[in-house]
Structure 1
Amino acid sequence: MFNEKIEIIYEDEDFIVLNKPAGVLTIPDRFSKSLPNLYGILTEKYGRIFVVHRLDKETSGVICFAKNEEAHSDLSEKFEEHDVNKVYLALITGHLRNKEGRIDIPLSENPKIPGTMRVDYDAGKRSITEYKVLEEFENYSLVEARPLTGRMHQIRVHFKAIGHPLAIDSVYGNKNEIFLSEIKKKYKAKEDEPEKPLMSRLTLHALKLGFFHFRKKEYIEFEAKLPRDFESLLKQLRKYSIRNVN
């Protein structure tokens, strides 16, 4: 039975588009095959499924799988040729001097820490992320990020490289969670009850995905609504932490 907690945004004979919850893997874990993953869930329902692209475990949002070899080949080529429109929402630390811009910094895998990336001007592959600041808070900024290339952890490493890592990023940043007490100045803790975090995972959400459908012969685009934890954090920031620029 398909997991009812995973929203199906779109489905046809070629593709299935989902809103991936944070904490769910795209593909099976190399060391623990029993961990929940979209590939396994979809394979149970459809028998055969094709992975086109991936989202980090702690990233939520729109992700597309192919249902046959023809669809897989076509969309994989579009990803390879950067013919796919990808839009993310990221909450980053601090404030950017330029409210719109492009980060053009080469990246490569970090041999010292397997499974991570690093800035590499000597042997790294060219990596480009365009961004636009949407909202500013006292200590954070909400940005729209458009990766024009598809390197692993690209958005995370790029914003760290320019001095503004994601608000929560246990690998490339320095926080694992955000509490209301950090945002609300007159916060009063409840007696004998530990404070629960507003959000305790990567502050990154894949908002939109668009591409030209090879069979329908038209451009299609999908949007995944923000999950509750991200919405809750933004709501509290808007209420208690709007940036005063005076």
Structure 2
Amino acid sequence: MKPDELIEEIETIYEDEDFIVLNKPAGVLTIPDRFARGIPNLYDILKEKYGEIFVVHRLDKETSGVICFAKNEEAHSDLSEKFEEHEVKKIYLALITGHLRNKQGRIDIPLSENPKLPGTMKVDYENGKRSITEYRVLEEFENFSLLEVRPLTGRMHQIRVHFKAIGHPLAIDPVYGGRQEIFLSEIKKKYKPKEDEPEKPLMSRLTLHALRLGFFHFRKKEYVEFEARLPKDFESLLKQLRKYSVKEDNF
């Protein structure tokens, strides 16, 4: 898909003279790839459309959801400072493996880059930066739990590494969890895929979605908050879990 066609496919949640807020699809880069500069990414696409665009924050390639870009230096400086001072509200939906003993809590585990696996993070109690993630369990299924997650700090892969660290990685996370996809046959016990063709996965990317983003708009002088609806693959997976895999003693 060409860049101009890609931007037409991406939902614009909000736009004014200072910001553009998008619902990023999974599989699309936020910024250019260091080693493959030609891969389509939101920054290049928006820069081509607006002439000038500023990156404020990022989402992993396989994470969907709300993302904001600044359209001028003043907006960029103000919102970047708010991110640095942890004044931006970020809410994610995450499907993790298993069930948490505490249905609401905080993970406070320091993280640092992993030199053995470039581009990844690790738990590091000696030299890591303080990293805090709050969560609340929304629903429990037979083998998974749906959480509302709020990262209070902004470390790379923070949510993914934190839940891995407490023994409950994302339901799908090839890097920190191992699993690459979820099939209906795993959820619907009597379901049998067709013998003559391979079963297609319900979902085959990170079970992580940036749901809401909120901050004080420096020009409007008011708090603004934006929400990105769940993509079809995540909605479909949750629909099947609710239908066939509800935890019997769900709270």
Q: Does 1:39 align with 2:43?
A: yes
Aligned-partner SS, 2:8: coil
1:227-246 equivalences under 5 Å are 227-245=231-249
Deviations 1:152-174 (A, max 9, x none): 00000000000000000000002
SS of equivalent residue, structure 2 residue 75: helix
Q: Confirm whether residue 76 of structure 1 aligns to residue 80 of structure 2.
A: yes
Query: Which consecutive unaligned segments of at least 5 residues does structure 1 have?
Result: none
- 1:191 Cα deviation after fit: 2.9
Count of residues in correspondence between the two structures: 246
How far off is 1:194 after superposition? Answer: 0.8
Aligned pairs for 1:78-157 (under 5 A) are 78-157=82-161
Q: Give the stretch that moved more between structures: 218-227 or 31-40.
A: 31-40
Once the two structures are TM-superposed, the CA of residue 244 in structure 1 deviates from its matched residue by 1.1
Which residue is 2:214 aligned to? 210
* Structure 1 residue 193, shift from structure 2 partner: 1.2
Q: Which amino acid aligns with 2:188?
A: K
Cα distance, 1:4 vs structure 2: 1.4
Q: Distance in 2 between matches of 1:174 and 1:28?
A: 26
1:162 aligns with 2:166: yes
Runs of 4+ in 1 over 3 A off after TM superposition: none
1:220 aligns with: 224
Task: Give 1:195-206 correspondences, 5 Å limit.
Answer: 195-206=199-210
The percent identity for this pair of structures is 85
Rounded Cα–Cα distance in structure 2 between residues aligned with 1:85 and 1:76: 13
Aligned residue for 1:189? 193
TM-score (norm 2): 0.97
Match of 1:6 among 4, 10, 14: 10
Shift of 1:216: 0.3
- C-alpha RMSD of matched pairs (Å): 0.9
CA–CA separation in structure 2 for the residues paired with 1:205 and 1:35 = 22
2:66 maps to 1:55:
no
Distance 2:186 2:39 in 1: 33
Distance 2:196 2:33 in 1: 38
2:22 aligned residue: 18
Displacement after TM superposition at 1:198 (Å): 0.2
Q: Which letter does structure 2 place at the counterpart of 1:102? A: R
Cα distance between partner residues in 1 of 2:38 and 2:237: 31
How much does 1:33 deviate? 1.1
Which string of whole-angstrom CA distances, capped at 9 and with x for unpartnered residues, describes residues 55-97 of structure 1?
Answer: 0000000000000000000000000000000000000000000
Q: Which amino acid aligns with 2:133?
A: T
Amino acid at match of 2:60: D
What is the alpha-carbon distance in structure 1 between the residues aligned to residue 158 and residue 9 of structure 2? 28
- TM-score of the superposition, structure 1-length normalised? 0.99
The CA distance in 1 between the partners of 2:168 and 2:12, in whole Å, is 33
Where 1:4 maps in the other structure, the secondary structure is: helix
